[in-house]
Structure 1
Amino acid sequence: MKRFLRILVLALTLGPALALAGEPVNINTADAAALEQLKGIGPAKAKAIVDYRKQHGPFASPADLAKVPGIGEKTVAQLGSQITVGARNAAK
């Protein structure tokens, strides 16, 4: 029983991180809550991404995320394969 509980706690703890690691977040469609799940993206940056997208339209590539005020190329590089802009990025 103790082993089962340990496995359950581990699964609940790592589950969201593992799910996120397997599926990139589409920065053109994700809401602020989904963007906040990305490492290095808190509430303020998530809101900035959504606001930028509303004003300027969809991102053409993940690198365009660096155009958002408060997000630099270093953050974009750290996000790496965790983000996508949709089907066009899937082949890359």
Structure 2
Amino acid sequence: MQQGHPRHKQLSRAKHEMYLHRRYMFAKKINEGMHSFVNGVRKVMNSVVDAIFSTLDTEPLKEKPEIKDIYSGIHSPKGLIQIVPPKFNK
């Protein structure tokens, strides 16, 4: 004699798999949320640290002595015009 619905085993297995899938998806979303939160906190901390360091008083850079290009002066042909790039001093 039959002891219940013939598809009972299949249906109960499907319910169990759906339960596992929902649990997995919940954990996955929690993990992604925590990951994005940590990345956001890291970006905020980096920007705060960069702002702190940019506001600190630093010594102005000393001007470096110019290095003369002796080689191009000796080996440049006399007929061509040399173009000197502009110097940008602050």
Which range, TM-score by smaller chain?
under 0.3
The structure with the greater share of residues assigned to helix is 1
Report the TM-score, using the length of structure 2 for normalisation: 0.27
Structure label with greater radius of gyration: 2
Kindly indicate which of the two structures has a greater share of residues assigned to strand. 1
